[in-house]
Amino acid sequence: LQYHCKVPEFVARQWYKHVVGISYSEGGCRDIDHAWNEISLRYVDAGDFNFYTPQGGFRTQSPSNKQASTDELIQQPELQQAYVNHAKASFELYNQLVAQGVAKEQARGVLPLNIYTEFYWTVSLQALVNFIKLRQHEGAQYEIRCYTDVLEKLTQLVVPVAYRYLLETASLS
């Protein structure tokens, strides 16, 4: 299956880390289950890109898991505005650097991790099921769980029987 994904950079890093950290092996045969082709800010002008802003507030840090958040929200409009202002200022600096002739490969260094990136992800159904099972876990970051839910719905539209079978029978690697 192949998906065209548009996600915040911090979600793409988690996604990619999963892709390179997992491979499927059956009967001693190793297959490549994933292909990743991401847009490069070395070649594309990021000036027209947009950035992710959490809706409804920021989640609080989990007291029991250093890499997780809770569902409790910090609703302080001034924090939300500071977040947006910071992202906008980063884009303004990026545009200023490019306008002065700075190479895009260097100018992109000022862009925040909430910038949206795009990639094509080609994945075997088996690897996709494994990804969905792992990334729908309650300990996974909320944003990647949202994308995983959409991937699951799209996959169920295309290969419902095979998906259901693999979901029920596949063990997590």
Q: Are 141 and 59 in contact (CB under 8 A)?
A: no
Q: Are 149 and 137 in contact (CB under 8 A)?
A: no
Q: What do you get for the CA distance between the two ends of the chain, in Å?
A: 20
56: Cβ contacts below 8 Å, ≥ 6 apart: 73, 75
Q: Which of 30, 59, 108, 135 is catalytic?
A: 135
Integer Cα distance of 94 and 173 in angstroms: 41
Check if 135 is active-site. yes
Residue 140 CA, chain-centre distance (Å), reads: 12
Q: Burial of 132 by CB count in 10 Å (0-12 exposed, 13-18 middle, 19+ buried)? A: buried
SS3 44: coil
Integer Cα distance of 29 and 4 in angstroms: 28
Active site residues: 135
